[in-house]
Chain A
């Protein structure tokens, strides 16, 4: 980009010199990898459920420009604008979360989708990034010591959102929201006694879910004892990785995508494992790790608590989702429906992540006077 001079003071010029270009490049690579894997993994799935072979490919590729535009557009915002966007987004998301309980389409016993102007949206995907930013703001206000109980406000919002998610029910998203929220709370200086309390709450919550939600119980049983029930997807998934070996069978040469129902979405990593092999998968893991840790490092020198917490929350969401997805696929944790950010097929997930990472990039931009040599 030699065309862009350091002295260029246009909006784009400023953006280019202040944005974290390494992270941007890593995200770009992940998006490219996702496009490649969608090409490989989704046609057999589409064919199996009676759609046109390239149904998912077309939709994914139609949404990619929208996502990239959102990502870059949002990353142009200043921290305060990010906050405004998040507040607005959170209000709309919560409203949709409420609406979905009444007008949402029921799929496999859960109401998670809402039809909006021909698109089916999953509000739970959008609530995560917006809430992370708003919660960060509240925590930062609390720590200012002006007596504003921001943490209690955040906690109340968290209770509302987690409750709404559990009503769908969507335990996976509730877990992610909880992990990020308490992570942020922890960074914001949550007292030790609260930390212990949060861990106890989390554990009891999961145990409670095990005993009250049948499908959760059966998934955990199957994880602990694969013989106790149908572990078809995970078995095929592990088989795929085994088939792949070090170098994979070559793009498009995989067979497992013909057997795994969610090969294009939650189990896309298994398709990658079979077709591209261990080395490519390790590269992908490295890219995700890089984005998260690089972002953390960027905000380590941050002087604004709000910016630090918001960026950390957004990056943590990105990382936790990737971890849950890969962990499920690799049978490290019980199967949990979670998309692999920017790789899995899924419109809501892609758009929400674009906004989320756009906000993260906006917050990690170099700003005048934020201190430090970074």
Chain B
């Protein structure tokens, strides 16, 4: 309508509410003006409404379609789950990978009184529930109780299938099930829970309360990648040498964090009900063994640190030592005087025993106590073995302990001690939990820095020229010590059943990692000329581990014959060298 039309059209309206004519005549102008203002403003109001509804429409498109590609509203999602306090916290590796988590699963139960036809119900159920027979279900359904478990922890598909059957009297209970996505990879460390979710081994047991409170996940020091490397290398070796078991540990030499710890055979914690007791046994922490020659690392450090034996000294190894009814022999008898370095290099039992005698029973006992070999390790899993120490501690024990017999410790004890011997002489408590940067405890000094430096050179000598040559991962400067111990069997030692081990550190000029491989009862083969000693069996495992882990940890290979490296690592006294000094010492 046009405005002109409006003005002229406004006359007397026949509306009931229209003002009486007498008033309208004189007030027509006012009312007309008011109507005009109202009309203009009504257009403004309409525009405002149109815009507001338009905004709603745009927002609708925004939240329904546009927001899809954007960031998922993940930050909000856990809020729904957060108040459920029953959720057991997760266990993570040091890089945040999932080692243990909890999932909700439905469990099927029945009220037998409400089941109309138990036989038909059982027949139908048996078709969707493998692993439980029709007869078993009928038996359960004939119980007098009002509640029987039919099957626990079903899959969502099974639940769907059962719902689809639509049999009355069956119900689901939401239960929590612990899941280990890595199955056996860190089984002995992580442990497992029973069917009711209580931790009954490993971290699951020792941190049960913490995990149960459902707060922050527990983050372990383990590196899952390394865990796999160690496990694979050990399995390879076990298979080749038909061994009954194996253990491996990688320790951060600076922080004493356990980066990998494997015990074989292992198990799948997802099926905790059917674990073989042997597989359940943690050889790395719970098992205590006479470690054999790897213990000479401690003996040499003890002797050198006491000041009673100097690195330039030498000892008579021409004859076996006879003491009461025992004879101490060398495995590779040199039948001559050996320098301190040669004793280590050739792993001479006779020489080691003589060095220990310089320090004495009390000195040895104190030293072993100081480096933690006489007490349970302060490790975070409940499976921590108590060392077996001689009592009383006689002279014969002094001698045998010098080469690793008569004192049984766990492999982790050995790794912890060796770490202190090479890292500058400081013993730190080993841990399975990830340490925050800068939160490494100061530790206690157990040997002088100088002694530690001498030990590093001795360990390098073994890999370069001695029994540990098979551990030499070219470029990574491995230093280490072999060990081959006969296992106790009944009252004596069994020559056929051995523990073969190698404990190494690399790079030995500034050790960052300690690596241990221990093979339980290996059998020599053609390739090793029938040998099953630490040098033949365990040293290659360590080499393998070092070669695979070093690139991962950003350790660059070096030229091992570079003068500046040799200057740091080669002992000033190297008797078997073609150098003059060597000859002179050998004839000493």
Residue ranges of A at the interface with B (Cβ–Cβ < 8 Å): 78-80, 83, 143-146, 183, 186-189, 232, 235, 238-239, 241-242, 244-246, 273, 277-278, 281-282, 285-286, 288-289, 292-293, 296-297, 299-309, 312, 316, 319, 323, 326-327, 330-332, 367-374
Contact = CB atoms under 8 A, between A and B. Distances in A.
B65 A293 contact: no
A370 B13 contact: yes
Interface in B54-68: 55-57, 59-61, 63-65, 67-68
Interface string B4-32: 01100110111111110001000100110
Contact of B9 (A232, A312, A372): A372
Given A186-B41, A300-B39, A371-B13, A332 B50 contact: no
Contact of B56 (A83, A292, A332, A372): A332
A120 B19 CA distance: 40
B53 A289 contact: yes
A281 B60 contact: yes
Most chain-A Cβ atoms within 10 A of its Cβ — which of B10, B43, B63?
A: B63
Given A323-B52, A373-B1, 13 more contacts: A144-B19, A186-B45, A188-B34, A238-B73, A239-B73, A278-B64, A300-B39, A301-B1, A306-B17, A308-B38, A323-B53, A326-B56, A371-B9
B132 interface: no
Contacts of B6: 301, 371-372
B64 A281 contact: yes
A273 B65 CA distance: 11
Interface string B517-561: 000000000000000000000000000000000000000000000
A217 to B, nearest CB: 22
B64 A293 contact: no
Contacts of B18: 304
B42 A304 contact: no
B23 A146 contact: yes
Closest 5 CB pairs of A and B: A143-B34, A80-B16, A145-B30, A371-B9, A289-B53
A187 to B, nearest CB: 5
6 contacts: A80-B15, A80-B17, A186-B41, A285-B57, A292-B46, A323-B49
Given A300-B43, A369-B14, A245 B59 contact: no
B144 interface: no
B45 A278 contact: no
Interface in B74-117: 76, 79
Contacts of B1: 301, 371-374
B293 to A, nearest CB: 62
B437 interface: no
Contacts of B488: none
A239 B68 CA distance: 10
A369 B15 CA distance: 8
Interface band, chain B? 35 or more
Contacts of A305: 31, 34-35, 38
Contacts of A297: 46
Given A235-B76, A289-B50, A146 B27 contact: yes
Contacts of A304: 13, 15, 17-18
B49 A289 contact: yes
A323 B49 CA distance: 9
A143 B56 contact: no
B37 interface: yes
Given A278-B60, A300-B42, A372 B14 contact: no
A78 B16 contact: yes
B42 A308 contact: yes
Q: Among A145, A183, A316, which residue has the most Cβ atoms of chain B within 10 A?
A: A145
B543 to A, nearest CB: 53
Interface string B153-175: 00000000000000000000000
A154 B60 CA distance: 37
A273 to B, nearest CB: 6
Contact of A282 (B5, B50, B57): B57
Contacts of B37: 189
A236 to B, nearest CB: 9
B264 to A, nearest CB: 47
Given A183-B45, A300-B43, A327-B56, A189 B17 contact: no
Contacts of B76: 235
Contacts of A371: 1, 6, 9-10, 13
A278 B60 CA distance: 7
A33 B521 CA distance: 79
Contact of B38 (A189, A232, A242, A286): A189
Interface in B288-317: none
A373 B67 CA distance: 47
Contacts of A143: 30-31, 34
| Residue among B27, B38, B68 facing the most chain A CB atoms (10 A cut-off) | B38
A225 to B, nearest CB: 14
Contacts of A244: 64
Given A80-B16, A246-B64, A319-B49, A144 B30 contact: yes
A312 B429 CA distance: 81
Nearest to B41: A187
B64 A245 contact: yes
Contacts of A330: 56, 59-60, 63
B53 A285 contact: yes
